[in-house]
Amino acid sequence: MKKILSLTVIISVVFAFGACRDESLNPVPAWEPGVHAYTVFDGILFNGNVLQRPQPYEVENARNFPRAVQGSARVNFKIRWVSLDKKLTVSKIDIYVRMLEAYNDPEGNPKVADLSGNGKGKLLTTIATPAENRVWNLFSITPDQVYNLYRTATVKYDNVNSVNVFNNPSRPRPVGARFRPREQAAYGAVDADSFIVTWVLTTTDGSVFSTWNFDGICNDQTAVSEANSNCQLAFTVR
């Protein structure tokens, strides 16, 4: 009988403390709905207005700007937004691109200049009416588009004087090309120009999603599915 009474007292005390719990002091916030996206290089090449599948040897080239004759080049992508709980709808996708230029400083040390100046990139294009949840949207990036974004960019290659990136007399750009591949020159080995594509999602309620958890979203290691995610894609000149 005493054991029963003791158990009853314990249960009563636990319930009494539970009834006094102040949820406003709970350090774990309530989860809010969110969206993410998944972007990949598109395996479809455009020949004029005609879609064609690339040959295997063309696939890698389709993911980079070519070394020369860049005027007609472009890299194709596809992106889809994902709402796991289907509580939000994306109304706009902004695509940004960062341009990184490799160079050697006066002492011969390799350097990389982020020409965006903000680590975020510059707005390249907007998908104003994206397809519904988990449905692909196509877009492409051309050398001319990136050039027009960064044509006035400057770098202090000598740590003193600002020089226009596309009009640098000490390192002229290849004839017929906006961007450089990796090269070995008198001033040493220099990596190719490279580009990082990112995206910002705006939902119908006005929420804006531009950053995500690295381990959970950006470095998604789950098996391929309609819920996959990432935060950026990079390509270069080859």
Look at residue 152 in the predicted model and tell me its pLDDT. 96
With 90 as the cut, is the pLDDT of residue 50 above it? no
Place of tokens 């965006």: 116
3-class state of residue 47 by DSSP: strand
Look at residue 108 in the predicted model and tell me its pLDDT. 86
How do residues 176-218 score in pLDDT, each as one tens digit? 889 999 988 666 789 999 999 999 999 999 999 999 988 889 9
How do residues 120-171 score in pLDDT, each as one tens digit? 899 999 999 999 999 999 999 999 999 999 999 999 999 999 999 999 988 8
Percent of the chain that is helix, strand, coil (3-state, to 5): 20, 35, 50
How do residues 59-98 score in pLDDT, each as one tens digit? 566 789 998 889 889 999 999 999 999 999 999 999 999 9
With 70 as the cut, is the pLDDT of residue 1 above it? no
Dihedral, CA atoms, 23, 27, 31, 34, nearest 10 degrees?
A: 140
Distance CA 214, CA 199 (A): 15
3-class state of residue 150 by DSSP: helix
Look at residue 188 in the predicted model and tell me its pLDDT. 73
